[in-house]
Amino acid sequence: MGVLTNRVAIVTGGARGIGESVVCEFAKEGARVAVVDIDIEGARRVGAQVDADDTLVLPIWADISDEASVEQMVEASVRHFGQIDILVNNAGIYPRYIWHEMTVGQWDNIQAVNLKSCFLCSRAVFPHFKRREAGKIINLSSGTFSLGKPRDLVHYIASKGGVVGFTRALAHEVGEFNIQVNAIAPGAVETEEERKVADPQMVASIVAQQCLKGRVLAKHIARAAVFLASEDADMITGQTINVDGGWAMQ
């Protein structure tokens, strides 16, 4: 039996990258998982990869920046699995903009996808967690919040700093209901999305700044999420764990 046997998790942004790895590792540990993404075909691909019989994984389309869409997503998850035990707020975007040339619409979109979604999804699962007096919320922040770089990510770094603040404050609000709220701050993670914005020279520069001279993989983030979702982390809340090879420290 895995450490997440008989647990049900919602993973947003589960169609690729870190989210896909979280889905795979949770399923290996016995969890049933709602794979939530605006890319429904990607979510279905991950679902088929993890669970050919469609009994352990449920792909769900949702716009996690939209209140009604989030509510429908959580309702569909509960209807299918009967319960919700874990929420992983992983979905996020990081287009690069020069800060003083960025439009208000671009700023607002980043905050909506990266930060508001954490609030919306957490609020939607809260009644289910409160009723059972148990639940795990895991938010994805970023090591860039500790570093304040790289350039042209002011909007992104601000949103990920907000995730840390949200994590700490929410932990105080829901602790009386035995709900743990924590965050993971990845460093430079080797994914398909990273390859679109970081060339080999940029990656090598970051690795040179790490204490551990190797690439951070999506699986490293996913295994940290498994730990936080498990009973082993029942007395950990309000914390942010950096998984970045020692690039940023708190």
Residues 155-160 have a mean pLDDT of 97
Residues 234-249 have a mean pLDDT of 96
Tell which wins on pLDDT, 149 or 136: 136
The reply to whether 156 belongs to the active site is yes
Residues 50-62 have a mean pLDDT of 85
Of 156, 164, 222, 247, the catalytic one is 156
pLDDT band at residue 53, thresholds of 50, 70 and 90? low
Per-residue model confidence (pLDDT) at position 196: 75
Q: Which residues contact 205 (CB under 8 A, 6 or more apart)?
A: none
For residue 139, which of 180, 84, 88 has the smallest C-alpha distance? 88
pLDDT band at residue 173, thresholds of 50, 70 and 90? very high
pLDDT band at residue 18, thresholds of 50, 70 and 90? very high
| The total number of residues written for the chain in this structure | 250
Residues 32 and 56: their CA atoms lie apart, in Å, by: 5
Residues 100-105 have a mean pLDDT of 97
Per-residue model confidence (pLDDT) at position 143: 92
**pLDDT value at 93 more than 80:** yes
Per-residue model confidence (pLDDT) at position 191: 81
Can you give the three-state secondary structure of 149-210, one letter per residue?
CCCCCHHHHHHHHHHHHHHHHHHHHHHHHCEEEEEEEECCEECHHHHHHCCHHHHHHHHHHC
User: b/e per residue, 233-243, with b = 16+ CB within 10 A?
Assistant: beeebbbbbbb
Residues 146-163 have a mean pLDDT of 94
Q: Find out if CATH 3.40.50.720 is the number for domain 8-243.
A: yes
**pLDDT value at 47 more than 70:** yes
Beta strands of the chain (E only): which ranges?
Answer: 8-12, 32-37, 57-61, 86-89, 135-140, 179-186, 189-190, 216-217, 240-243
pLDDT digits (tens, 9 = 90+) for 187-224: 989 887 777 777 888 889 999 999 999 999 999 999 99
Residues 239-243 have a mean pLDDT of 97
Query: Checking DSSP bridges between strand 189-190 and strand 8-12, what pairing results, if any?
Result: unpaired
Per-residue model confidence (pLDDT) at position 54: 64
Per-residue model confidence (pLDDT) at position 163: 98
User: How much is the mean pLDDT over the chain?
Assistant: 95
